[in-house]
Chains A and B, each alone.
Chain A
Amino acid sequence: MSHRPITEDDLHGYVDQLLEPERRTEVAAYLDAHPDVARRVATFSGQRDLLRSALAPIADEPLPPELNLSRIIEARKQRPTRLRWAVAAMLLLSVGSLGGWIARGSMLASSSGLAALAQEAADSFNVYAPDRVRPVEVRASDGAQLVQWLSNRMHQAIRVPDLTTAGYRLMGGRLIATSHGPAAMFMYDDDRGDRLVVLTRPMTADQNAPMTPQSNGEVAGFAWADGGMGYSLVGRSAAESLRPIANEVRKQARTI
């Protein structure tokens, strides 16, 4: 018999019947000795039973035709998905090679400088932030791997800005293809699920540029460059509300 103290989590685990048998016995013994706690646990178990009984009839209702999975699969097969993807992939390839060819030539500062960077950040935001399934390629839980990979690809020591003081948690990141080479994208979210994107890449034009507000449609934020690296922070909030966060990103990037 172990002597691990009983925790609040154990009590919930007991109610939800998620404890290992041995721990369950220990909690049961504890409850026998502590009637007050036992009463509380009993009310939680009562709630659980009541909710389950109250909601059970919903799961017993016959499914409406719209929720017939075989029909959904059939309807999907009717659509020429494969072909569409093939066409899209060919288009992407040709755009990619065209982009690469253009990039060989000398570019105007306006199309490779801060404005371009901010546009890339906004594009990344628009593509990845609404993605509920796979917004990032490498999750924050594999942070070390993420940093290593992005640093290798950028030939620069990349550091992930920590925005927890501003209430944003790192979700993870991915490598982004731009016409100026690879860029690192990091995505954050707050408790309400609002997301932010930070994009960084080496700059050819505007190697050092002061922080300027940027806006592309509904997405707004800031872009700046320090010592050859460009940074852009964008989100769906008003640009000004993002300024303190952008300042924080800049401060942290400078301490590499």
Chain B
Amino acid sequence: MNDMLLQVEPLIPALRRYARALLRNPTAADDLVQDCLERAVSHWQQRREGNARSWLFTILHNLAVNQFRQSASRGRHVTIDETNEDDFGQEAVQEQTLMYRDVLDKLAKLPDDQRAVLLLVAVEDLSYAEAAKVLNIPIGTVMSRLSRARERLQQEIEGTADETSRNVLKLRSVK
């Protein structure tokens, strides 16, 4: 148990960050992390691999995917515009904060699967192999999704994403 505490506790802030960036709703994200931690505690002994980080991200990601699926079937979809202004940070509104909010708005327009890869690799510092494990996809798929995510985000930032794909994205498919 002590071993678990030492390995899992330092990862909680990163799990929170990933959940919130994925769900865009702080309360739902923390609920998800709590669920993840409870599972981690009860399954710690069954864990085979040594890498606690990718194991925890796998649990969290699967819970998030289930959540997407459920909210998709309920037809509820929280866009970035509906969320609280300070969902992503606590600072007063300043130029830098506006810039951050803007990039997170753009990120939110990416399909969920591309967003997940980009966050795991670029923000959470998972290796490509770890990301493949978390997402349960081949490493080649990680690379192609990452590439599409970056191109897509760049188009959003430059405002050149074409209207058709933008409309499709509003439907916000699960994966």
Contacts and interface: CB of A to CB of B under 8 A. Distances in A.
Given A50-B103, A52-B123, A76-B38, A57 B46 contact: no
A255 B39 CA distance: 43
A254 interface: no
B157 A47 contact: yes
Given A8-B143, A57-B88, A63-B12, A73 B1 contact: yes
Interface in B86-141: 88-91, 99-101, 103-104, 107, 118-119, 121-123, 127-128, 136
B65 A193 contact: yes
B34 A48 contact: no
A2 B21 CA distance: 40
A133 B41 CA distance: 13
Interface stretch (A64-72, A143-151, A205-213, A241-249): A64-72
Contacts of A104: none
B80 interface: no
Contact of B8 (A13, A69, A193): A69
Contact of B128 (A18, A47, A69): A18
- Residue of B103, B104, B122, B146 with most partner-chain A CB within 10 A: B122
Interface in A187-211: 189, 191-193
A198 B81 CA distance: 44
A9 B131 CA distance: 14
A73 B4 contact: yes
A55 B8 contact: no
Given A55-B21, A58-B20, A192 B12 contact: no
Contact of A69 (B12, B43, B153): B12
A55 B118 CA distance: 13
Contacts of A12: 143, 146-147, 150
A157 B38 CA distance: 42
**Among the interface residues A58, A66, A69, which one has the most CB atoms of the partner chain B within 10 A?**
A58
A132 B107 CA distance: 27
A16 interface: yes
A72 B36 CA distance: 11
A59 B157 contact: no
Contacts of B122: 15-16, 47-48, 51-52
Given A50-B103, A51-B118, A63-B12, A58 B65 contact: no
A59 B154 CA distance: 25
Contact of A76 (B13, B33, B41): B41
B133 to A, nearest CB: 11
Contact of B33 (A44, A67, A70, A73): A67
A69 B9 CA distance: 6
Contact of B38 (A9, A54, A55, A72): A72
A16 B149 CA distance: 14
B66 to A, nearest CB: 8
A134 interface: yes
A236 B122 CA distance: 35
B107 A51 contact: yes
Contacts of A36: none
Contact of B46 (A15, A51, A53, A133): A133
Interface of A: 8-9, 12-13, 15-16, 18, 43-44, 47-48, 50-61, 63-64, 66-67, 69-70, 72-73, 76, 81, 132-134, 189, 191-193
19 contacts: A12-B146, A12-B147, A12-B150, A47-B150, A47-B157, A50-B99, A50-B103, A51-B119, A59-B13, A61-B16, A63-B16, A66-B30, A67-B16, A67-B37, A72-B34, A72-B38, A72-B41, A132-B58, A193-B174
Given A53-B100, A55-B17, 17 more contacts: A12-B147, A18-B127, A44-B154, A47-B103, A47-B150, A51-B122, A51-B123, A57-B89, A58-B16, A58-B20, A58-B21, A61-B90, A69-B41, A72-B41, A76-B38, A132-B63, A133-B46
